[in-house]
Amino acid sequence: MGRFEQMRIFLRIVESGGISRAAQQLFMTKSAVSKALSGLEAELGVKLLARTTRTQKLTDSGHAFYYQAKQLVPEVDSLYSDVGEAAAEAKGKIRLSAPLSFGIAHLSAPLQQFMLQHPKVELEVIYDDTRADLIEDGFDLALRIGNLSDSQLQARRLCNIGLTLCASPEYLARQEDINNVQDLARHPFLRYASMPSGRVNWTTIDNEVVSVNLPTRFIANNGDALLQMAEQGLGITILPNFIVYKALQAGRLVALLPGELNPMEQHAWAVYPQTQYLPQRIRLFIDHLVNWFADQPYWERL
């Protein structure tokens, strides 16, 4: 095994948190990963990692080597890529993490088109509403909806995601009229588990910020579950338009206070670990998603 491959393995050990996890992500045996690290340390004549049966910690030499290797490996990758990829067909595996509802409902078509255009690329998609740790869990990239808080990730915006405050006609027929934002405080709220509480801030048409604490009745980490509860008349909810647009069009749900509140909005992002180099297949895939969702998505044309 060459020095450059040993450096790659060392980086993965550090960034994944251990030899066992690095072996899983690299599809290597644990002994092969351990041997690569030992060989690198022997060639350098220093210990890079202080290891026990349960923990690992970079030595001073390890810190210095990691920093330099993290800069060097992407540069060498980029050199090979620039020379070889221009005429080469994209190939290899892409491992993607995607939100469950959005992924199943709206990702199939762009994924199918990408696979038809690039028959040598293998896609593995994990649909999960839990935000994965890209490096620790071995993902090349993820789709995220909402605010981005991880400064260790790079991101490209895919599209706007509108949100609608809504309830079923049957529910509204049993309640007093909702004439303003403050009236919402009397109604049971069906909310996402990612929201820390039922307190919601709105901006009115007059650009006034109004905060209301909605009494939570049901919490779920999945929008389709909230949609079903709302359609059964169990309360009011705030859902992304990519989940709720068919129910609004069919009249199973009704938007609340559309003339009083400015539309709520988030964004969809493609996020990936910070690096100076992205493999050709990842760059092409991200470009494909950006182009696919570039126009106003169909679910926003309410």
Domain of residue 111, residue span: 92-160+267-300
Task: Specify the CATH number for the domain of residue 50.
Answer: 1.10.10.10
Angle, in degrees to the nearest 10, between helices 280-292 and 108-117: 130
Task: Specify the CATH number for the domain of residue 114.
Answer: 3.40.190.10
Same domain, 272 and 135: yes
Residue with tokens 């109004």: 210
- Examine the pLDDT at 86 and tell me if it is beyond 60: no
* End position of a domain, from candidates 84, 117, 138: 84
Cα 168–104–267 angle (5° rounding)?
75
Same domain, 273 and 145: yes
Same domain, 166 and 260: yes
Same domain, 242 and 291: no
* End position of a domain, from candidates 25, 59, 84: 84
Same domain, 166 and 19: no
* End position of a domain, from candidates 39, 60, 84: 84
Same domain, 74 and 127: no
Same domain, 151 and 276: yes
Q: How confident is the model at residue 146 (pLDDT cuts 50, 70, 90)?
A: confident
Task: Specify the CATH number for the domain of residue 202.
Answer: 3.40.190.290
Distance CA(250)–CA(240), nearest Å, equals 16
Strand partners, 122: 93
pLDDT at 226: 97
DSSP 51-104: E-SS-EEE-HHHHHHHHHHHHHHHHHHHHHHHHHSSSSPP-EEEEEEE-HHHHH
Same domain, 259 and 277: no
**DSSP secondary structure code for residue 19 in this structure:** H
Number of neighbouring beta carbons within 10 Å of residue 142: 25
Sign of CA pseudo-dihedral 152, 135, 97, 236: negative
Decide: 299 and 241 in contact? Cβ < 8 Å: yes
Same domain, 134 and 280: yes
Q: pLDDT tens digits, residue range 30-40?
A: 899 999 999 98
Tokens of 258: 């559309």
Q: pLDDT tens digits, residue range 194-222?
A: 899 999 998 988 889 999 999 999 999 99
> In whole angstroms, how far apart are CA 153 and each of 56, 87, 148, 150, 156?
24, 29, 9, 6, 10
Same domain, 252 and 282: no
φ, ψ (nearest 5 deg) of residue 297 = -60, 150
pLDDT at 165: 96
This prediction has a pTM of 0.71
Number of neighbouring beta carbons within 10 Å of residue 83: 10
- Examine the pLDDT at 77 and tell me if it is beyond 90: no
pLDDT, the chain, mean: 89
Same domain, 278 and 150: yes
Strand partners, 228: none
Which comes out higher in pLDDT, residue 203 or 1? 203
Instruction: Count how many domains the chain has.
Output: 3
Same domain, 69 and 123: no
